[in-house]
Structure 1
Amino acid sequence: MNDKTKQITHERIRMFNTKETYPNQSLDNDLCQAVRAENTVYVRGQVGTNFEGNLVGLGDPAAQAEQAMKNVEQLLAEAGSELSHIVKTTTYITDPRYREPVYRVVGKWLKGVFPISTGLVVSGLAQPEWLMEIDVIAVIPEERA
């Protein structure tokens, strides 16, 4: 390997293994919560579970969205970005009736940001108690990168 091959192209933020985070499933995958690649940050789908593994808002899509957005804000900060630098969101809900409560919360957090957005209604998420999930892509302005 030469020096160019060894060059770090991205930073993994909050690495974890699914064996510990999902003990109810027989998985063994190495993942992370976010990746910073040059001036772009990719945030893994966030749900109503805090970083200690506790679900916030059982049965309440708005409360789960609130926690998910807290997670997004924290992960972006750890990557050197912030909510105002989000360029794309993808929101998943498990029931079309959750659209308004979830989008109200997300809209409050992203007021004035104007990202592009995709919303999907899905039959289920990775855990049955999760009612919504959001992933985002953000940038880091040149002066910060």
Structure 2
Amino acid sequence: MAIERFRKFNTKDAYPEQSLDNDVCMAVRAGDTVYLRGQTAMDLDGNIVGIGDPAAQAENAMRCAEILLKEAGATLQDVVQIHIYITDRAYREPVYRVVGKWLKGVHPVSTGLIVAGLAKPEYMMEIDITAVVSTP
């Protein structure tokens, strides 16, 4: 099975304030399955979007996810599983409304978790996405 890695980077560049040195990437395609790195308030250029606004962060995360899926040969229609992490229960409705808009009619399996924190203190939400590329 062929494995392709998209948008490789090192965590020391993405998180210079932390003492990290991990080689990772934004997306991996293994056969027909695409795995996305957790998408957050950080856009694909490394800027933080929507500080203090969980809906704006979710919008950014889904916009980035759509781009990454396309680069890996998939679409949002191919999404089969999502995990949504929020740092406060109050963020559930605004985040889920945005994600629901982007995945309307897709019906992936979904798990939601409330966590004590994420990689950067500005992050209010994160979404992991797995997709299986549909055959034409």
User: Does TM-score exceed 0.5, indicating one fold?
Assistant: yes
Separation (CA, whole Å) in 2 of partners of 1:21 and 1:128: 14
Give identity over the alignment, percent: 62
Q: Which runs of 4+ in 1 moved over 2 A?
A: none
Counterpart of 2:62 in structure 1 is 69
How far apart are residue 11 of structure 1 and its match?
Answer: 0.3
Is 1:55 the counterpart of 2:64 in the alignment? Answer: no
Separation (CA, whole Å) in 2 of partners of 1:26 and 1:48: 21
Residues 39-94 of structure 1, C-alpha deviations (whole Å, 9 max, x = no match): 00001100011111111100100000000000100000000000011000000000
Question: In the alignment, residue 40 of structure 2 is paired with which amino acid?
Answer: V
After TM superposition, list the pairs within 5 Å mapping 1:98-109 onto structure 2.
Answer: 98-109=91-102
The higher radius of gyration belongs to 1
**RMSD after superposition:** 0.8
Counterpart of 1:31 in structure 2 is 24
Residues 6-49 of structure 1, C-alpha deviations (whole Å, 9 max, x = no match): xx630001000011111101101000001000000001100011
Separation (CA, whole Å) in 1 of partners of 2:2 and 2:74: 17
SS in 1 for 2:92: helix
Separation (CA, whole Å) in 1 of partners of 2:13 and 2:129: 24
TM-score (norm 2): 0.98
Which consecutive unaligned segments of at least 5 residues does structure 1 have? Answer: 1-7
